[in-house]
């Protein structure tokens, strides 16, 4: 007897975050609850939560203004992570004096996102925000797993949540 999985429904949720140290843990708890509802696997959950943490942390450190996190699952099962903020601070890219602009605690976040996400980027966000960082992660949800052969990861631009302009 084979069990069929119903087609995935598109789901989306957003969270406004105060600009304070509790923003990142709050975003992780909120995202974990959504991923549980969406029946994400343990690895998918870990990857999405790490990407969410990195994007929220970057907004806290490098941007101004309000922060809003978005999490969405499309009908193909891909997970979209977005973080909107008020744009870069005036000291964005400031060097700490050693010449490389990085230290032992900072500078690896986007490398982690690049490793985990199928693709990612940044662009303009709708008012009252100015900037949006986004990442798309492929999933292994039972309804999206191929029956045989290699897993494909192509994501058509029209099917993603990042800005097209």
- Residue 151 in tokens: 């897993």
Residue 60 has a pLDDT of 94
Phi, psi for 109 (deg, rounded to 5): -55, -50
The dihedral region occupied by 156, where left means phi > 0, alpha psi between -120 and 50, and beta the remainder, is beta
Rounded CA-CA distance 14/31 in Å is 9
The answer to whether residue 164 scores a pLDDT higher than 50 is no
Residue 55 has a pLDDT of 95
Do residues 81 and 38 make contact, with C-beta atoms less than 8 angstroms apart?
Answer: no
| Tens-place pLDDT, residues 31-48 | 999 999 999 999 999 999
The answer to whether residue 28 scores a pLDDT higher than 70 is yes
Cβ burial of 87 (10 Å; 0-12, 13-18, 19+) is middle
More confident residue, 80 or 146: 80
Q: Where are the beta strands (DSSP E) in 23-89?
A: 67-73, 79-85
The answer, as to whether pTM is greater than 0.85, is no
| Tens-place pLDDT, residues 120-162 | 999 999 888 999 999 999 876 445 444 434 333 333 333 344 4
Do residues 81 and 137 make contact, with C-beta atoms less than 8 angstroms apart?
Answer: yes
């Amino acid at each position: 007897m084979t069990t069929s999985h119903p087609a995935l429904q598109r789901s989306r949720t957003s969270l406004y975050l105060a600009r304070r140290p509790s923003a990142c843990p709050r975003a992780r708890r909120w995202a974990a609850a959504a991923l549980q509802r969406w029946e994400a696997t343990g690895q998918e959950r870990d990857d999405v939560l790490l990407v969410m943490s990195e994007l929220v942390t970057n907004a806290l450190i490098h941007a101004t203004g309000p922060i809003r996190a978005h999490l969405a699952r499309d009908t193909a099962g891909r997970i979209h992570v977005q973080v909107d903020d008020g744009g870069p601070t005036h000291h964005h890219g400031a060097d700490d004096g050693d010449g490389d602009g990085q230290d032992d605690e900072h500078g690896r976040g986007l490398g982690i996102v690049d490793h985990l996400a199928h693709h990612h980027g940044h662009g303009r966000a709708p008012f009252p925000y100015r900037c949006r960082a986004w990442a798309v992660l492929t999933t292994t949800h039972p309804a999206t797993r191929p029956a045989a052969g290699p897993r494909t990861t192509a994501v058509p631009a029209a099917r993603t949540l990042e800005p097209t302009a």
